Amino acid sequence: MTGATIKRDLRTGRSLWADSPGLGVSTRPLTEAVAVDVAIVGAGISGAFMARELARDHSVAVLDRRPPLMGSTVASTAMLQWEIDLPLTALADRIGMAKAKRAYLRSRSAVDDLKRIVAEDRIVCGIKDKASLYLAGDDYGHRALETEAEARAAIGLDSAYVGPAILRDRFGMDRTGAILSRGSASGDPARLAAGLLRRAQANGARVYSPVEVLQAASDPEGVTLLTDAGHAVRVKAVVFCCGYEFPKSVPTPGAQVISTWAMASRPRQRCPAWLRETLVWEASDPYLYFRMGGDGRLIVGGEDEASSTAHQDKAKLKRKSTAIATKLKRLLPEVEFEIDYSWAGAFGESATGLPSITPVAGMDHAWAIMGFGGNGITYSVIASQVVSAAIRGKTDADADLYRP
C-alpha cells in the first residue's frame, strides 16, 4: 500500500511548471553576426538573474539552444532556501568556520535579495515566505542537529532545535529531532525566470533561441562565440549559465551530475495547516523533501541517484514516484497523495554543497557557473552578484568562496 495513485498518465514525465501561465518570453533567431557587451549562454534561472542584473548597464544577448526556461529550471521544485546541502558544522570541517559562516550568511542574504527583486520588479511567481524543517535522518541524527542548530544560532541565523515531542504534537511526524529555521521561501521557478528575462528585455537585452553556442575563443579585447546559426557573436565578456550541460571547453572540477525525481499532487490537496507555511527536507541520503504550492498542490521530491542519465528512464520514473510516495506516506500517514504530475531531471552536486562561480580557466573575459546543490536557485542570485561585480571591475567580498 503506497497511499498514492497515478491519476493521469498524460502528465507522467511532464513538469508541473511547464503548464504555468505567463511563461511567454519573446525570442528571435540569430540571422546575422552581432556584437554586444555581454553574452549569457543559457536562458534558465541563472541566465535570467544574470541578464536582469547586467542589462541595467550593459548591452546583453542571451543565447539558448532550447526555448527559454526549458532546461532544469522548469523541473525545479523551487524551495528557495538559504540552508546549504552540507550543514554549517560539516561545511566548517571542510573549509573552516570563518568561510562556512560567510557561506551561510551570504545564502541567507541572497534569499532576501531574491524576494526584494521579485517585489521590486513585480514578478508574479507565487512567491511566499516559508519556514523550513530539516528532519533528523541517517546522515545527521538528532544529536548532530542539536549541535548544528546551536552553531547556526551562534552566527545569528534564525534556527532552533525541535525535539521529538514537539515534532509529534505540532507537526504530526515521528522523528527523533529537527531544525526549524525561518527566512526561506518558495515560488514558481519558470514564472520567476520568465519575469526576470522580461525585465532584462525591458532594459534592452535580446534573447536568441534556438541558438547553440558551439565554440568560444578569447583574445585580449573580448570573446568570439561560434554558433550553429552560422553567425558569430562578438562580446566583451561571456557568462556560461548552462546548468548541468557544461560546454566541453569548460572544466568542472568537483562537480557531479546526478538524477533526481519529483511529483505534484492535484490542486487543493488536503494537508495539515502548518505545511502551507513550511518546507520540509531530511538529513538522509537519498532524501525526501516536500512543500505546498500556491494552488494547494503538494510537491514532493527526492530519490537522487548518482547517474547523469537515469532521469531519462521512463520505467524508473514510475518506480521512483512510488518510492517517494511510500516515504511520504510513512512520514505523513494521514495525507492521501494522488499523483498528477511526475517528472525527473539532471541535478548538480559539489563536495561542499557550494556552487562554482569562476572565470573559465585558459580564457579571458569568460565566466562559468555550475555545480549547484539543493539550493541552486539561491546560488543563481549569488552568481549574478559575483559575476556582475567582476564585469564592472569590482570584486565581490565572497567571490573566493565559490572558486573550487
Ligand X SMILES: Cc1cc2nc3c(=O)[nH]c(=O)nc-3n(C[C@H](O)[C@H](O)[C@H](O)COP(=O)(O)OP(=O)(O)OC[C@H]3O[C@@H](n4cnc5c(N)ncnc54)[C@H](O)[C@@H]3O)c2cc1C
Nearer Cβ to ligand X (79/136): 79
| Binding flags for ligand X, 242-281, as an x/- string (CB under 6 A) | xx-x-x------------x-x-------------------
State the nearest-atom distance from the C-beta of 147 to ligand X, in Å.
25
Nearer Cβ to ligand X (3/247): 247
User: Is residue 212 a contact residue for ligand X (CB under 6 A)?
Assistant: yes
Of residues 275 through 334, those in contact with ligand X by CB under 6 A are 301
The phi, psi pair for 203, rounded to 5°, reads -95, 15
Rounded to an integer, what distance in angstroms lies between the CA atom of residue 379 and that of residue 104?
11
Place of cell 541517517: 138
State the nearest-atom distance from the C-beta of 136 to ligand X, in Å.
20
User: Is residue 43 a contact residue for ligand X (CB under 6 A)?
Assistant: yes
Q: Look up residue 139 and give its three cell numbers.
A: 546522515
State the nearest-atom distance from the C-beta of 370 to ligand X, in Å.
8
330 residue type, one letter: R
| Binding flags for ligand X, 214-243, as an x/- string (CB under 6 A) | ---------------------------xxx
Our CA angle for 17, 132, 182, nearest 5°, is 115
Nearer Cβ to ligand X (79/335): 79
16 residue type, one letter: L
Of residues 375 through 394, those in contact with ligand X by CB under 6 A are 375-378, 380
Candidates 66, 102, 236, 276: give the one binding ligand X (CB under 6 A): 66
State the nearest-atom distance from the C-beta of 376 to ligand X, in Å.
2
Candidates 157, 213, 238, 331: give the one binding ligand X (CB under 6 A): 213
Contact 338, 5 (CB under 8 A): yes
Single out the residue of 317, 81, 261, 265 nearest to residue 189, CA to CA: 81
| Binding flags for ligand X, 78-107, as an x/- string (CB under 6 A) | xx----------------------------
Rounded to an integer, what distance in angstroms lies between the CA atom of residue 363 and that of residue 359?
8
State the nearest-atom distance from the C-beta of 11 to ligand X, in Å.
15
Contact 300, 328 (CB under 8 A): yes
DSSP state of 73: G
User: Is residue 23 a contact residue for ligand X (CB under 6 A)?
Assistant: no
Nearer Cβ to ligand X (137/243): 243
Question: For 282, how many CA atoms within 13 A lie in the half-sphere containing its CB?
Answer: 26
Rounded to an integer, what distance in angstroms lies between the CA atom of residue 161 and that of residue 142?
9
Candidates 44, 87, 177, 286: give the one binding ligand X (CB under 6 A): 44
Helix extents (H) in 34-96: 45-54, 88-95
User: Is residue 402 a contact residue for ligand X (CB under 6 A)?
Assistant: no
Partners of 257 in the beta sheet? Answer: 348
State the nearest-atom distance from the C-beta of 186 to ligand X, in Å.
8
Candidates 195, 345, 353, 371: give the one binding ligand X (CB under 6 A): 345
State the nearest-atom distance from the C-beta of 30 to ligand X, in Å.
11
Nearer Cβ to ligand X (145/369): 369
> 345: burial class by Cβ within 10 Å (0-12, 13-18, 19+)?
buried
Rounded to an integer, what distance in angstroms lies between the CA atom of residue 184 and that of residue 109?
10
Rounded to an integer, what distance in angstroms lies between the CA atom of residue 375 and that of residue 284?
16
Residues 6 or more apart from 122 whose CB is under 8 A from it?
none
Q: Which stretch binds ligand X (CB under 6 A): 38-46, 86-94, 123-131, 384-392?
A: 38-46
Q: What is the three-class DSSP state of 185?
A: strand
383 residue type, one letter: A
Nearer Cβ to ligand X (74/149): 74
State the nearest-atom distance from the C-beta of 221 to ligand X, in Å.
23
Nearer Cβ to ligand X (150/245): 245
Our CA angle for 47, 65, 125, nearest 5°, is 40
Q: Which stretch binds ligand X (CB under 6 A): 28-36, 69-77, 124-132, 163-171?
A: 69-77
DSSP state of 249: T
Q: Look up residue 380 and give its three cell numbers.
A: 543563481
Chain centre to alpha carbon of residue 138: 24
User: Is residue 350 a contact residue for ligand X (CB under 6 A)?
Assistant: no
Q: Rule CB under 6 A: which residues touch ligand X?
A: 41-47, 63-66, 70-73, 75-79, 212-213, 241-243, 245, 247, 260, 262, 301, 345, 347, 372, 374-378, 380
